[in-house]
Each structure stands twice: as C-alpha cells, then as structure tokens.
Structure 1
Amino acid sequence: MLSKAMGFRNLGPLGLFAKEGLEKAFSLGKFFCFLHVTDTYLVTFVVTSGPSMLPTIDLIPTMFLGERISTRFGKVTRGDIVIIRSPQNPRKLIAKRLVGMEDDTVTYISNPDEPDKQETIVVPKGHVWIQGDNAYKSNDSRNFGAVPYGLIQHRLFWRVLDLSGNTDVSVLYDSQVKFNEIQLHKSPFRFPLSLLSLFSSISYRTICSSSLAFLS
C-alpha cells in the first residue's frame, strides 16, 4: 500500500487558507509572548490615582511607565518613586517615595499635626522605608513600618499621560522633596529612546490592562 503525505497544497484553496491562518496565529503568538516578557521583566504601564503623592503626582488618574530592571538588580535608591505591593493588602499596589534603605537611620514625624514629636528607626536588613510626598494624606511606613524589599514591583521613570496632557518626567526627579532635613535631587533614569518609542506604540488594549496603583 502506498501512502502520500498530505500537505496544505494538496488540500487546494482550503489548505492555503488554513496555512495562512496558522502563520498569522503563530505571528500573533510571538507578539503576545514578546509583550508578556516585556511586561514581566522590563517595562509596564502603571496608572496612579489618589492624594498621597501630591503635589508630585496628580490626584487624578495618571499614566506612567514603570521599569523592573532596577528593582530586580537592587539599583533603586533614595528618592525614587516606586510601586510596592501593599503589606496590608497584597492585592493592592501603592505608589510611594523611597526614603530609606536597609541600615539607614530614619527620623520621621509620625503625626504631621504634631511636628515636634519625632521618632527614629533603623531600617532592618532587606527592608526599605517608604513615605508619600503628601504627609497629611499618606498611609505609609509611618503606619505599617519598613517593608520588605521584595514587595517593590516597579520604579516609575516616565510620565506617559495625564488629563492635562503633561508628559514631563522632571516632576518625578527634579522636584525638591524634603525628608528629615535632607533635600533630595535625582537625575532621571536614562532609558534607551528606541525602546521608549517601541513601548509608546503598544496598543490601547495593552495600556488598558496596565497595573493600577493607589496613592493612599
């Protein structure tokens, strides 16, 4: 008995249609794999909402790019704005200013209404101290203590869009934020412009599936 392999061409027009469909499905699969790897290991969109980072970040929903490279390699530093998984509610992401690293001695005002009452803490190993820029409306390390470094998810480095159309990244780094009598200034993270162009062109559907961080 003779047998003959049946290829797409042997199936006529239906076979060509099936081949084209499989090729498109394969290309689409590669695209979504690329998006998954990018979102998991490199860069993701983050939408913030809430009052705790005023005036640096608006009260209204604002979109940022958050990078994961610095967090994975331990390169975040004091003054960075980071997205952290809430130690009080693991389902919730919060955006705060990184104020102290492990072994730092942090002196802080636990109650903004009583500025003369200060407390001092040494940040434990493997932990960081986070605070909101708006001390009067921020639930942060002053309430729940230092948080494990592993809870840091992203480091914000680019304001993509807010309702006023502002995309200025300098507000994240050049604004003078005063913590414990120390004035913080930081140069922006230099992300390759070619990658910025690529991520800016990602579809609206991808943007809508971005992380949501609350400024509480």
Structure 2
Amino acid sequence: MRLGLAEVYNPSMLPTLRPGDQLVLSYGARVRPGHVVVLRHPFQHDLLIVKRVVERRAGGWWVVGDNPEVTNDSREFGVVPDGLVVARAMVRLRAPQGAAQVLSWLPSAVRPLTARSRRLRAR
C-alpha cells in the first residue's frame, strides 16, 4: 500500500474537512460508500478534488461533497469512472488555528476518515 499527503483547498467537504487540512492518502485502497476519496475531476483531469463516495452506479461512483452549498460533485458531472479515483483518504490532520486553541485542537487534530464518519444517501 502506497501512502501520500494532500491538502484541502476549498470548502466543498465542510464540516468534515476544512481548507488547510492535510489528508493521509492510501493509493490503491478499496473504495466503499462513505469513504472520502481524492479523484480527478471528470471534465478537467489535471484537477484533483476531494469527495465522499455515496454509492456504486452503472459506470462508476456517485460522489458528493459534505457541504450541500457546493455542487461541484456528481450532481453536476454525474458518475465518476473507477479510473478517475486516485486514492482513499485515511486520516485527516488539522493544524491548530492559533496558540490559544492548541488544547482544544489536540483531541480533533488527527481523525480517521471512515465510512462511519458521515453517512450520506444519493439525492
């Protein structure tokens, strides 16, 4: 299993992921509904995006962001073929927002991203 790091840049996965969060990725890991994945945007293959897998459909995966206000997901571009899924996010690493927040930050700084971290249904 190959591991890597990625940084979250936009708010499409709020509240689960915030801009600035780091993700530990597993390349080649099995993907199931509920998992957070990094994938190539279906219309712009040089752009990597982070989404949650909702379900398997004919032709690939239905993926959505956790933030319902951002629709840059399968609601906009449809099913994502398996070949565009790059890696599965295993762990979120969150940096503290300031020196005064370090103590409240510690319990949530490192959090595994599992299928149970948020359950979504296809819309």
TM category (shorter chain) comes to 0.7 to 0.9
TM-score (norm 2): 0.81
1:18-167 to 2 correspondence within 5 Å? 42-58=2-18, 60-70=19-29, 75-101=30-56, 123-125=57-59, 127-164=60-97, 166-167=108-109
Contact 1:62/1:163, CA 8 A, preserved across alignment? no
Q: Which runs of 5+ in 2 are unaligned?
A: 98-104
Change (3 A) 1:179 1:137: same
Q: Name the % identity.
A: 30
TM-score (norm 1): 0.48
Q: Which residue in the other structure is 1:201 paired with?
A: none
Q: Which runs of 5+ in 1 are unaligned?
A: 1-40, 102-122, 182-216
Amino acid across the alignment from 1:42:
R
Structure with the higher fraction of residues in helix conformation:
1
Larger radius of gyration: 1
Q: Give me the whole-angstrom Cα distance separating, in 2, the residues matched to 1:159 and 1:124.
A: 30
Say what the alpha-carbon RMSD is for the aligned residues.
2.0
- Residue 8 of structure 2 aligns to which amino acid in structure 1? T
How many Å apart are 1:168 and its aligned residue?
A: 2.7
Q: Residue 50 of structure 1 aligns to which amino acid in structure 2?
A: N
What is the total number of aligned residue pairs between the two structures? 113
| Match among 177, 183, 205 for residue 119 of structure 2 | 177
Is the CA contact 1:51–1:138 (under 8 Å) kept in the aligned structure 2? no
Q: Distance in 1 between matches of 2:21 and 2:77?
A: 26
Structure of higher RCO (CA pairs closer than 8 Å, 6+ residues apart): 2
Distance (Å, rounded) in 2 between the aligned partners of 1:131 and 1:91: 19
